[in-house]
Structure 1
Amino acid sequence: MICKRPPSSEAALFGMPVAVMVVVALVDVVAGPGVGLLPLVSLGPAFSSLVGGWRFTALIGAVALLLCVGLGLYDDLFEGRRGFTAMISVAGVTGAGIVAALMRSRREAELASVRSIAEVAQRVLLRPVPLTAGALQATVSYTSAVAEARIGGDLYEVVASPYGTRVIVGDVQGKGLAAVETAAVVLAAFREAAHDEPDLIGLGERLERSVARELEGEKFVTAVLAQIGSSHETVFLNYGHPAPMLVRRDGSADFPEPPSYAPPLGLGVEGAGGPEPYSVSFLPGEQLLLYTDGVTEARDGDGHFYPLAERVHLLKDADANCALQALREDLAQHAGGPPHDDAAMLLLRYQGHGQGTSAPGG
């Protein structure tokens, strides 16, 4: 299923240079030669260098020169200097626009190269989650707070292990490359231990040891671990992370809290007990959303946090990807701009054996 997207404004941007020249020409014809608007035809190639390549800029520049000649002859401006001055202005702006377009294209090529490297790093660090894991359907959304970045300090993973489907969603303290390095450590440890450890407590202890070896000072990682087996329940282990949202078949939302919150990974006191596992029912037709605090702590212009519990209806779409995309777009609209923190969301749908993919609560 293809999710609906807002119409693109690319065509409008490419039409802007032509529209500007048409407006200048009409005003010049109506107002007459005394107003002296002819040099403004150069706005066409000036704008074209901002939205198109050098060929597009040269084409618009050629059209602008022809228009300049036509209007100059119509207004009898070539009997003096005004017509030639306008043509020189258009030619100069066109030349400068071509140079600017070439430089912009070079920068875009360099940025594309950097992005391709970032995409490879993302595939290594944050691999695409499996579309299905047993009776579960999974989809993920990730928005980095760093401009032009594809990855950050949030992490997620879904592993189909001999002991059930195991999931982690976490948030590394801080941003940038240091946070990415820490996320890589946690994910590597989780991917290995998820297949080896027979229970969730042992898995959590492996993660705690790995993080303690790598982190320095008071850095930490909040995380929630989940294990979904065949007993229609989910077992959680929470290291100071926001409680997951469980969407029931009737569309209501629960936020199962742990008996007591344990310190984040990296801040555990030696000799002290870790977090207590707790279980909740998770039935076919229900949904589980694990997320980072970049979601619930996103503020609008009035300083109000994002009301996740009030947006459960956005997850009714029969297509899980479209449902999560709708939630992501609503979050961006609430924040009214780029996020101030990384925001990761992992949606799991319990389809059940032999069941269809109809959305819960629909």
Structure 2
Amino acid sequence: MAERTRPRPAADGAARNWLGLPAALAFIALVLLVDLAAAAHAVLIGFLALAPLLAAAVDTPRRTAAAAATATLAAVVAGLPSQTLGSLDHLLRVAVVIAVSIAAMYVARARTGREERIRRMTEIVRVTQRAILRDVPERVGGVTLRARYVSAYQEAGVGGDLYEVVPGPDRLRIIIGDVCGKGLPAVQLAAAVIGAFRQSAIVRTRLEEVAADLDALVAREPASTHGVTFVTAVLLEIRGPRLRVMSCGHPRPLLCRAGGSLVPLGTGTPKRPLGLGGDRGRPDTHRWDPGDRLLLYTDGMIEARDAAGRFFPVQRLARALSADSPEEALDAVWEAVRRHAGGPPRDDVALLLLQRLTPEPDTGGCGGPCPG
């Protein structure tokens, strides 16, 4: 099943519980104690106006109002020890607390309204993302599949990376790609490419014909008329033990043999990205055996940098890809990327992991790269 990152509202709620009204009440108590201990004659009560502002920054309007009421009451009571209650100076300081409290309640209401609008928009984006990037099937014939998508915009869970899996009667076709661009235009182009692939992968007999269809589609997109938009992609076709791979300007897939060796797939120079035209020739053909795993990924993984600015070393993924199960292998790959980058990468990352489960009839095998 595809996995996507999501915000964690529970953690945000915990932060509000500690940083909102409780923090404001603690601040009020601190101001009163300092004012009383220093015999400041109610000079410090003006600082009580900061309490509702503290609540307004993270808490609800109702809890902010509770902090405002407490601060106002504390400001009035603070005049008793110094016997300044009712004096012009005391009344002016109380008025300041009241004025700032009213402003804080307005800020809290405006902030929560804006957060609610953002939450609704984020949910719409997530639904759209799920419609574009459908969950991959867990198993197709003798192949098991797992996918993960992590957006650079974690609050939205949306980006320009794409993948799709299209089963056929005697084959399995897959695309993984990355749109050159950001934001909604990138998402729109990714959706168009996925939709075209779903159709072309079924009706076209050759993988290069699928690539030609997608190339024409990207070239027709409005953003492409400025010459700045293209899509890098890997097209993959699986027929039993045979892998046919066409890389259109995209990082090469990694084949992890059952024995633990790691082999980048693809020979020669990568073909031009989709949308830039040109003859892409024929796909490279390889063989994989039962137990072998294939990792397809976008450049967000290999371009993840560590503190010294070094790119992620994909050649070190052999151990991660040799984990006990595909789920654990995908977790290990993502954890390796996170450790290298010191946190989530700054670019979108899409990962597809495939494993061949059962041997299937071969019609004339080959040991490594085969003739196209």
For the residues of structure 2 that align with 1:15 and 1:69, how far apart are their CA atoms?
Answer: 26
Aligned residue runs from structure 1 range 81-96, under 5 A: 81=88, 83-96=90-103
Match for 2:18: what amino acid? G
**Alpha carbons of 1:174 and 1:12: their partners in 2 closer, same or farther (altered >3 Å)?**
closer
Match for 2:240: what amino acid? S
Contact map agreement 1:260 1:275 (CA 8 A) in 2: no
Q: Which residue of 2 aligns with 1:220?
A: 230
Aligned residue runs from structure 1 range 346-357, under 5 A: 346-352=352-358
For the residues of structure 2 that align with 1:324 and 1:78, how far apart are their CA atoms?
Answer: 68
Aligned residue runs from structure 1 range 111-150, under 5 A: 111-134=118-141, 135-144=143-152, 149-150=156-157
**Alpha carbons of 1:330 and 1:61: their partners in 2 closer, same or farther (altered >3 Å)?**
farther
* Cα deviation, residue 168, structure 1: 0.6
Q: Which residue of 2 aligns with 1:151?
A: 158
Q: Which residue of 1 aligns with 2:187?
A: 180
For the residues of structure 1 that align with 2:88 and 2:332, how far apart are their CA atoms?
Answer: 59
For the residues of structure 1 that align with 2:170 and 2:18, how far apart are their CA atoms?
Answer: 58
**In the alignment, structure 1 residue 39 sits paired with structure 2 residue 46:** yes
Aligned residue runs from structure 1 range 64-75, under 5 A: 64-74=71-81
**Alpha carbons of 1:179 and 1:282: their partners in 2 closer, same or farther (altered >3 Å)?**
farther
For the residues of structure 2 that align with 1:252 and 1:80, how far apart are their CA atoms?
Answer: 84
**Alpha carbons of 1:129 and 1:70: their partners in 2 closer, same or farther (altered >3 Å)?**
farther
**Alpha carbons of 1:21 and 1:217: their partners in 2 closer, same or farther (altered >3 Å)?**
closer
Match for 1:118: what amino acid? V
> CA-atom RMSD, angstroms?
3.6
Could you list the per-position Cα deviations for residues 275-308 of structure 1 after superposition, in whole angstroms to 9, with x for gaps in the alignment? Answer: 4322141533x43221111221133343221234
Q: Which residue of 2 aligns with 1:310?
A: 316
Could you list the per-position Cα deviations for residues 129-157 of structure 1 after superposition, in whole angstroms to 9, with x for gaps in the alignment? Answer: 23333331322213146x86543332111
Q: Select the residue among 290, 295, 299 that pairs with 2:301.
A: 295
Provide the TM-score with structure 1 as the length reference: 0.79
**In the alignment, structure 1 residue 244 sits paired with structure 2 residue 253:** yes
Q: Which residue of 1 aligns with 2:33?
A: 29
For the residues of structure 1 that align with 2:230 and 2:139, how far apart are their CA atoms?
Answer: 31
**In the alignment, structure 1 residue 48 sits paired with structure 2 residue 55:** yes
**Alpha carbons of 1:53 and 1:275: their partners in 2 closer, same or farther (altered >3 Å)?**
farther
Match for 1:25: what amino acid? A
Contact map agreement 1:173 1:220 (CA 8 A) in 2: yes
Could you list the per-position Cα deviations for residues 325-344 of structure 1 after superposition, in whole angstroms to 9, with x for gaps in the alignment? Answer: 66546645654678554332
For the residues of structure 1 that align with 2:97 and 2:358, how far apart are their CA atoms?
Answer: 67
**Alpha carbons of 1:250 and 1:98: their partners in 2 closer, same or farther (altered >3 Å)?**
farther
For the residues of structure 2 that align with 1:340 and 1:260, how far apart are their CA atoms?
Answer: 27
Match for 2:26: what amino acid? V
Alignment length (residue pairs): 346
Contact map agreement 2:31 2:47 (CA 8 A) in 1: no
Match for 2:146: what amino acid? A
Provide the TM-score with structure 2 as the length reference: 0.77
Which ranges in structure 2 are unaligned for 5 or more consecutive residues?
360-372
* Cα deviation, residue 14, structure 1: 3.0
* Cα deviation, residue 312, structure 1: 5.4
Q: Select the residue among 168, 172, 196 that pairs with 2:175.
A: 168
Could you list the per-position Cα deviations for residues 37-69 of structure 1 after superposition, in whole angstroms to 9, with x for gaps in the alignment? Answer: 333233221111111221121122223334444
* Cα deviation, residue 20, structure 1: 5.1
* Cα deviation, residue 230, structure 1: 3.0
Which ranges in structure 1 are unaligned for 5 or more consecutive residues?
354-362
Q: Which residue of 1 aligns with 2:14?
A: 11
For the residues of structure 2 that align with 1:78 and 1:43, how far apart are their CA atoms?
Answer: 21
SS at match of 2:197: helix
* Cα deviation, residue 107, structure 1: 1.7
Is 307-316 or 217-226 further displaced after alignment? 307-316
Contact map agreement 1:238 1:275 (CA 8 A) in 2: no
SS at match of 1:124: helix
SS at match of 2:250: coil
